Amino acid sequence: MKVLVTGAAGFVGHFTALALLRAGHQVMGIDNLNDYYAVSLKQARLSQSRALGLEFTQLDIADRQPLEALFKQHHFDQVIHLAAQAGVRYSLENPHSYIESNVVGFTNLLECCRHNNIGHFIYASSSSVYGLNTKLPYAASDGASHPASLYAATKRSNELFAHSYSHLYGIPTTGLRFFTVYGPWGRPDMAYYTFTRDILAGTPIKLFNNGDMQRDFTYIDDVVESIVRLLDHPATANTDMADQTELCYRDPSSAAAPYRLFNIGNHSPVRLGEFVATIENALGIEAIKEYYPMQPGDVQATFANVEPLANAVGFSPATPLAAGIAEFVTWYRSYYKV
Q: How far apart are the first and last CA of the chain?
A: 41
Is the Cβ–Cβ distance between 165 and 276 less than 8 Å? no
Residue tagged active-site, from 98, 130, 151, 165:
151
Buried/exposed code over 237-257 (b: 16+ C-beta within 10 A; e: otherwise): bbeeeeeeeebeeebbbbbeb
**222, 226, 229, 233: CA torsion to nearest 10:** 170
CA 11 to chain centre: 9
| CA-CA-CA-CA torsion sign (73, 76, 80, 81) | positive
Rounded to whole angstroms, the Cα distance separating 100 from 106 reads 9
**Across the strands, what pairs with 323?**
none
Distance separating alpha carbons of residues 271 and 250, to the nearest angstrom: 31
151 catalytic residue (yes or no): yes
Report cis status (omega within 30 of 0) of the bond before 137.
yes
Q: What angle do CA 314, 240, 179 make, to 5 degrees?
A: 40
Active site residues: 151
